[in-house]
Amino acid sequence: MRRQVSVGIESWPLERPFRISRGVKTAADVVVVELHDGKHVGRGECVPYPRYGESVDSVAAQIRSVLPSLEQGASRIDCRTLLPAGAALNAIDSALWDLEAKQSASGISGLTGISLEPVSTLFTLSLADPEKMARQASAVPELQRLKLKLNADAPLECLTAIRAARPDAQLVIDANGSWSNELLM
C-alpha cells in the first residue's frame, strides 16, 4: 500500500505559562505526522522532551529518516524495528492507529477489542507559590481531580493552601523528580 506522508512542526501558545520543577513552557511545541492513503488521513503528534535528548528538529528528522518505509506501508510492528522508543515512534504509532481506525468500520475499539468508556482525568496545576496554586485550584471548581506540580521549595505549604481552597478535590502530587530521598522521609 502506497501512502503519502507529511511531517510538520506546530507551536501552540499556552494561555498562561506552565511551570514545572525543570522549567517553564509558554507554548506546546509538537511534531505532527500525517499518513494519507488516498481516502483517509491518519494523524499523530508528539511532544519531544529535551530531558531525553529530543527536540522538535531531531524528532522530525528521525521521522523523515523512515519516510520511505512509511510510504511503502510499514506497519506499527514494523516501525518498532525502525526507530527506538521515544517521541518519533509515538507520533508514527499514533498516526498509524488513527489511520487504521478510520479505514476500519469498527473504529479504534474494534481494532483493540477494548470498549471505550468515559474516564476521569486529572487537571494539572502549574508550579507556583502556595497562594497562586490555591487560586488555580479555586478557578476550576467543576474539576474534581487535580494534579499538583510541586518542587522541593514549599511542597507542604502549597499542598495546605490547595487543600484549603479545594477540600472537595482529589489531589495527586507530581514532584517532577525534584524531591530528594531526605524530603520523602
Interval 95-116: pLDDT, tens: 999 999 999 988 888 888 888 8
* Predicted pLDDT at 67: 95
List, in order, residues 6 or more apart from 47 with CB less than 8 Å away.
28, 29, 30, 87
Rounded mean pLDDT of 7-19? 95
> What percent of the chain clears pLDDT 70, i.e. is strictly above it?
98
Q: Cα dihedral angle (17, 183, 50, 82), rounded to 10 degrees?
A: -130
Q: pLDDT (tens digit, 9 = 90+) per residue, 124-178?
A: 999 999 999 999 999 999 999 999 999 888 899 999 999 999 999 999 999 877 8
- Alpha-carbon distance of 148 to 175, in angstroms, equals 8
Enter the pTM of the model: 0.81
Cβ pair 150, 158 in contact under 8 A = yes
Q: In the chain, which ranges are continuous DSSP H helix?
A: 56-65, 67-71, 76-82, 87-103, 107-112, 130-138, 155-165, 181-184
Rounded mean pLDDT of 18-34? 93
* Predicted pLDDT at 185: 64
Question: Which residues partner with 43 through β-bridges?
Answer: 34
